[in-house]
Copies of this chain bind each other. A is one copy, B any other.
Amino acid sequence: MSDLLERLRARGWRMTSQRRVVAEVLDGDHVHLTADEVHARAVARLPEISRATVYNALGELVSLGEVIEVSTDGRAKRYDPNAHRPHQHLVCSRCGTIRDVHPAGDPLTDLPAEQRFGFTVSAVEVTYRGLCPGCA
């Protein structure tokens, strides 16, 4: 069904019912679930799936570049399946809602050479914080 499952199979990812469920749970836009939330939704479809398996599958999806790990609050990491289009996050400070945003321009070039301290900069994470319409 989903491209994600197709891509994973094509890359030789051994398919199990557990992995399929985890990948399916992560399908969609503006999805930013914690590992426990993924586990809870997976259990709804496959009651005996364990936490360790969910953590394993998430870790592999991240390694494969199919899912991005996001830590917006210093608590649980969240998993974002929108990995194929560079984007940033807009987070509500009250309720924690997260939206993906796509600003113009490349934030990487915003850091002038004299501010790089000799670092080789290869990525930028940007998090916009504020209140969502429901919490304002």
Residues of A within 8 A of B (CB): 69, 71, 73-74, 77, 90, 92-93, 99, 101-105, 107-108, 110-112, 115-133, 136
Q: A101-B115, A120-B136 are in contact. Are A107 and B90 (CB under 8 A)?
A: no
A123 to B104, CA, bound (A): 18
What is the oligomeric copy number? 2
Q: Which residues of B contact A92 (CB under 8 A)?
A: 119
Contacts of A93 in B (CB 8 A): 122
**With A71-B74, A122-B131 given, can you name 16 additional A-B contacts, CB distance below 8 Å?**
A71-B71, A99-B117, A99-B119, A101-B111, A102-B115, A111-B128, A118-B132, A119-B131, A119-B132, A120-B136, A121-B128, A123-B128, A124-B126, A124-B127, A125-B126, A125-B129
**Residues in chain B near residue A123, CB distance under 8 A:** 128-130
Given the complex of chains A and B, what is the CA–CA distance between A128 and B115 in angstroms?
11
Is A90 a contact partner of B117 (Cβ separation < 8 A)? yes
A133 close to B105 (CB less than 8 A): no
Residues of B contacting A102 with CB < 8 Å? 115
